[in-house]
Amino acid sequence: MVVLTAVVAAVYAVILIPFKPIPILPGVTELRPANAVPVLASLLFGPAAAWGAAFGNTIGDFFGTLGPGTLFGFVGNFLFGYVPYRVWAILGAGDPRPRADARWWTAFLVAVFLASLACGLFIGWGVELLGLAPFRVVAPLILLNNFLMAGILAPPLLRWIAPRVTRWGLTYGEILPATERAAARAPRLGLALLAAGLVLGYAAGFSGFTLLPAGAAAWEVSAAVSPFLLVSLAGLFLI
The CATH number of whichever domain residue 25 belongs to comes to 1.10.1760.20
Nearest to 108 by CA among 72, 157, 142, 62: 157
Highest mean pLDDT among 59-63, 121-125, 131-135: 121-125
Nearest to 119 by CA among 209, 194, 17, 206: 194
- Please report whether residue 235 resides in a domain: no
Who contacts 131 (Cβ-Cβ below 8 Å, separation ≥6)?
A: 218
- Please report whether residue 211 resides in a domain: no
- Please report whether residue 189 resides in a domain: no
Number of separate domains in the chain:
1
- Please report whether residue 114 resides in a domain: yes
- Please report whether residue 73 resides in a domain: yes
- Please report whether residue 154 resides in a domain: yes
Q: State the pLDDT at residue 21.
A: 82
Cα torsion 107, 109, 114, 115: sign: positive
Query: What does residue 23 show for φ and ψ, rounded to 5 degrees?
Result: -75, 145
Q: State the pLDDT at residue 107.
A: 95
pTM confidence score: 0.91
Q: State the pLDDT at residue 12.
A: 97
- Please report whether residue 216 resides in a domain: no
Averaged pLDDT, 165-177 = 90
Cβ neighbours around 46 below 10 Å, total? 25
- Please report whether residue 220 resides in a domain: no
Q: Which domain holds residue 26?
A: 2-181
Cβ neighbours around 172 below 10 Å, total? 21
Q: What value does the mean pLDDT of the chain take?
A: 90
